[in-house]
A and B are shown apart, each in its own frame.
Chain A
Amino acid sequence: MTTESDYASSEQHLYADWLDVGTRVGFVALVASFVVYVTGLVPPGIAHTDLPRYWSLPVTEYLAATGAPSGWAWIARLGESDLLNFVGVAILGTVTILCYARILAVFVRSSERALAAICIAEIVVLAVAASGLFGAGH
């Protein structure tokens, strides 16, 4: 008997499986780090009580006033629970790149050159966006 999943190609199933796992890991990291942050288990870089003074500022003024990092500088300050939360965001931002890398191999094997080229271009675009070339050191 034909089921709905039979209408999806094998690369769709592969992409879905990788996306599913990566997204779950990202959400767990996001929520767990938020619990750590909001309960004060690990102290944040900007005290909770100080936040309302800064969150209505434009981001440039916020960074200048608080000393919060831009670009990838947060990696070096993961001991601050507000920045620890960026780990979950970074995982959610990386999962699609991994999915593309996985299906790229499938398209290369099946000689789907146009789709393989699109995958490579998308990986480059997302990697450039992630690199901080556009925006770090604001």
Chain B
Amino acid sequence: MTRAPLLAIFALATIAPATVWAAEASAAPWWVWPIALFTVTFLLGIVAVLAGVGGGVLFVPIVGGFFPFHLDFVRGAGLLLALSGSLSAAPELLRRGFASLRLALPLALAGSTTAIFGAMVGLALPTAVVQTALGVVVLLIVLLTWRMPDVDEPRASRPDALSAALRLSGVFHDRAAARDIDWQAHRTPLGLAAFAAIGLMGGMLGLGAGWANVPALNLVMGVPIKLAVGTSTLAISISNTSAAWVYLNHGALLPILHVPSILGVMLGARVGAHLLQRVQSGTARRIMLVLLAIAGVRALAKGLGIWE
């Protein structure tokens, strides 16, 4: 079938020009870069939606690995990119009941607090250390995503004391299944610890956190998968806000880098959403994993000084 080659072309079109342009960094005029960023992030936006991930997780390792910008600025742009996407999506998710504000409030508090420290640590550490950590985390994401079990409607056991006190429960309407699903969060302290760890890592590496938030909500806290995806988006809009302020206050933002990237990913995501019905998500997911694996190896090799 023609779908796999089509997506492979997307992947090649993403990596190849970036590599060539990066090799010619000193020769390229300044205006080439916003155009290149817009093109690459537009393709990343398409792949991200088809693969069911946020653009941030693809952006930092790929742009950090193949573009000439310093990783400090790429991480700042990655945070803004994930923040912009989540801020845009959250209102509709909240209105339609696909996200739970009540559930996001305590989790986002844990994530946004540690994200500040993550951002500070990331900006204080030597670049090679952050680059190496980025490579390791990205390769772990590939492994986890590849091996992750699919759990759609986990059966939550009895709510814990914190979940009961905060009334972390509700009714979610699954339109595809045309029925209501009662949900009740459990293992809340473990969920809070997971969000604190994810916030720390997100702030440090500038990655979007959906890849980790969703399993934490679904597999750890027993939240239905669709509600987990929506609530994760809302939580990202809050926790990335605190980290983004740290990057802004450090002066680690370059408009020439973050604005074309935000526009590219958001436009690509819209196109991806239209293509969603025509492309197999499994194929897109495999392409995304290949892209991430290449970018992860590149980040690791760069961090270890093997492949400058």
- Which residues in A have their C-beta under 8 angstroms from that of B95? 4-5, 8, 12-13, 16
Q: Is A90 an interface residue (CB 8 A)?
A: yes
Complex: A31 Cα to B237 Cα, angstroms: 19
Residues on B lying within 8 angstroms of A by beta carbon are 25-26, 28-31, 33-34, 68-70, 72-73, 80, 83-84, 87-88, 90-92, 94-102, 105-106, 108-109, 112-113, 116, 119-120, 123, 127, 165-166, 170-173, 175, 237-238, 241-246, 248-259, 262-263
Chain A residues numbered 9-66 whose CB sits less than 8 Å from any CB in chain B: 9, 11-13, 15-17, 19-20, 23, 26-27, 30-31, 33-34, 37-38, 48-49, 51-52, 55-59, 62-63
Are B70 and A7 in contact, CB atoms less than 8 angstroms apart?
no
B238 pairs with A96, CB closer than 8 A = yes
The count of chain A contact residues (Cβ–Cβ below 8 Å) is 67
CA distance A12 to B227 in the complex (A): 14
Are A96 and B237 CB-contacts (below 8 A) given A19-B87, A70-B250, A122-B112?
yes
**CB neighbours of B108 from chain A (8 A):** 122
Q: Is A114 an interface residue (CB 8 A)?
A: yes
Q: Is the CB of A135 within 8 A of B101?
A: no
How far apart sit A110 and B238, CA to CA, in the bound complex (Å)? 23
* A and B contact pairs by CB, cutoff 8 A, 20 listed: A7-B173, A15-B101, A16-B95, A23-B91, A34-B255, A51-B254, A52-B25, A52-B33, A55-B70, A70-B249, A82-B255, A90-B248, A93-B241, A96-B87, A125-B109, A125-B242, A126-B245, A132-B249, A134-B249, A138-B251
Q: State the CA gap A125–B199 with chains docked (Å).
A: 13
A85 and B80 CA atoms in complex are apart in Å by 13
* Cβ-defined contact, A4 with B175, below 8 A: yes
A115 — which chain B residues lie within 8 A by C-beta? 102, 105, 166
Asked whether B255 lies within 8 Å of A85 as measured between CB atoms, the reply is yes
- Asked if B105 contacts A118 (CB within 8 A), the reply is yes
Within 8 A of B (CB), among A110-133: 114-115, 118-119, 121-122, 125-126, 128-130, 132
Q: B100 to nearest A CB, angstroms?
A: 8
Contacts of A63 in B (CB 8 A): 251
Inter-chain pairs besides A4-B97, A26-B87, 16 sampled, C-beta below 8 Å: A4-B173, A7-B171, A16-B92, A31-B259, A33-B255, A56-B69, A57-B70, A59-B123, A89-B253, A92-B84, A92-B244, A93-B244, A96-B87, A96-B237, A115-B105, A118-B105
CB <8 Å contact, A58 and B166: no
Give residues in A with beta carbon < 8 Å to B: 2, 4-9, 11-13, 15-17, 19-20, 23, 26-27, 30-31, 33-34, 37-38, 48-49, 51-52, 55-59, 62-63, 68-72, 82, 85-86, 89-90, 92-93, 95-97, 103, 114-115, 118-119, 121-122, 125-126, 128-130, 132, 134-136, 138
Looking at the assembled complex, report how far the CB atom of A20 sits from the nearest CB atom of chain B, in whole angstroms.
Answer: 4
Q: Which residue of B lies closest to A107 (CB)?
A: B105
Verify A55–B238 contact, CB threshold 8 A.
Answer: no
Nearest Cβ on chain A to B37's Cβ, whole angstroms: 12
Flag if B257 contacts A135 (CB, 8 Å).
no
Task: Select which of B73, B238, B250 is within 8 A of A122 by beta carbon.
Answer: B238
Bound complex: CA A37 to CA B94 (Å): 34
B34 contact from A16, A26, A38, A130, Cβ within 8 A:
A38
Hey, which chain B residues are within 8 Å of A26, CB to CB? 87
The complex places the Cα of A58 from the Cα of B33 at a distance, in Å, of 18
